[in-house]
Chains A and B, each alone.
Chain A
């Protein structure tokens, strides 16, 4: 049994919150470069350049990429041979988020659903815990902005809708979202499981680095077909017209009930932020 003090988890979560919000991944920057090569709209091209420049300023000056520093979504993988000591895990993570959003001068965006009163410290964070083999822990922080999250949907399709039904729904969702979710977007798709599992798969699919292939060749092909259809819509960077509506489509799939065909579409803005650490 390996012992890990929860105090260490608080410290790491704090740092990851700050880093995720100021430092966009190289995979996203490379995706911007690729998009610039293909973008036909002069205005669209200019916007892509602005986004790169914005990312540079954020990293160099250690300021948030976007003012919406998001809901703190935490994926926590716990090795089953680890014994957490010195407090409770959930409390330690919430404290890490509290400290990270305070010390990083990040926006506190979480409020009461009815009164809209701000909780003041960006908690509660959303915590997804998974127990895995081994004696390590892996923490991933993926701040999620509200504008793109609002454009996301879960739908229970009918088995007879088939793969065509998936394509139709995902492309239609991106079309209806238009300029709202800050295109170019990354489209996370979860297929199968149950109602809530489909949504979680869609969110998890966003953690895959941009430019990487789906390990399942069938899904890889489907991703590229959907992306082509999306980029034919003409929505373009910021919705002002152009070739680059989405940078990627990512799919995760698992078996579903014989009666069901769940589908979730989690839209992610171009500020695709996540940082992880293994302890």
Chain B
């Protein structure tokens, strides 16, 4: 529960296999942002047999739509958005090599199955801690869909972004286990 693990994408099968639910992880290096509208466009590309705007193999997608950067800021506030809205899209991306997703809230059984089958993990960042999390972002640039504004895909360089493993490759779920542990009556 209290192990703290350092990760730097791109991640291999071995990197994600060693992660267990409840593990505290700090991520450094490059991650990508994407939420509702960007996911829909990525899936439209895949359906049309086209390449994605970035190589997804081994990467982590952070479900976030940041506030605009103030002058002198790298990025505005940047906490996670609720993940279930990406459930319809995630299995196709996991199948193509996506290794990690950062968001908040429970994933569907289909996504959990895909994580088991293709070896990927789901992390939670603290929802509503946007000001705090933005401090871990060192660089940000839009790599696709600038017209989507906050929903554009950005490449972020992060330094020690703190997350918790919620779903591991063995099909465990911290949301279910955590609730069970503290339920009364």
Check B53 for interface membership: any CB of A closer than 8 A: no
Name the residue of chain A whose CB is nearest to the CB of B162. A50
What residues of chain A lie closer than 8 Å to B78, measured between beta carbons?
67
With beta carbons under 8 angstroms apart, the residue of A232, A240, A269 that contacts B128 is A269
Check A116 for interface membership: any CB of B closer than 8 A: yes
How far is it, in angstroms, between the C-alpha of A68 and the C-alpha of B127 when the chains are bound?
10
Binary A-proximity of B94-136 (CB < 8 A = 1, otherwise 0): 0000000000111000000000000000001011111110110
How far is it, in angstroms, between the C-alpha of A107 and the C-alpha of B65 when the chains are bound?
8
Give the B interface residue count (CB, 8 A).
49
A68-82 interface (Cβ within 8 A of B):
68-69
- Most chain A beta carbons < 10 A, residue from B76, B129, B150, B166: B129
Chain A interface secondary structure, helix, strand, loop or mixed?
loop
Q: Would A180 and B104 be within 8 Å (CB), given that A50-B126, A57-B131, A147-B82 are in contact?
A: yes
| CB <8 Å contact, B124 and A63 | no
How far is it, in angstroms, between the C-alpha of A180 and the C-alpha of B166 when the chains are bound?
13
Check B69 for interface membership: any CB of A closer than 8 A: yes
How far is it, in angstroms, between the C-alpha of A270 and the C-alpha of B130 when the chains are bound?
12
With beta carbons under 8 angstroms apart, the residue of A106, A107, A178, A269 that contacts B106 is A178
Name the residue of chain B whose CB is nearest to the CB of A229. B185
Q: Would A66 and B128 be within 8 Å (CB), given that A108-B149, A239-B106 are in contact?
A: yes
Binary A-proximity of B11-32 (CB < 8 A = 1, otherwise 0): 0000000000010000000000
Check B50 for interface membership: any CB of A closer than 8 A: no
What residues of chain A lie closer than 8 Å to B175, measured between beta carbons?
178-179, 239-240
Write 21 A-B pairs (CB below 8 A) sorted by A numbering.
A50-B126, A51-B129, A53-B129, A55-B131, A63-B67, A63-B73, A63-B76, A63-B134, A64-B67, A68-B81, A105-B69, A105-B70, A116-B36, A118-B148, A120-B149, A146-B82, A147-B127, A182-B128, A234-B181, A235-B178, A239-B175
What are the 10 closest A-B residue pairs judged by CB atoms, nearest first? A241-B178, A234-B182, A234-B183, A182-B127, A180-B105, A232-B184, A54-B132, A54-B129, A67-B130, A58-B131
Binding site for B on A (CB under 8 A): 40-41, 43, 47, 50-51, 53-55, 57-58, 61, 63-69, 105-109, 116, 118, 120, 146-147, 150, 178-182, 232-236, 238-243, 269-271
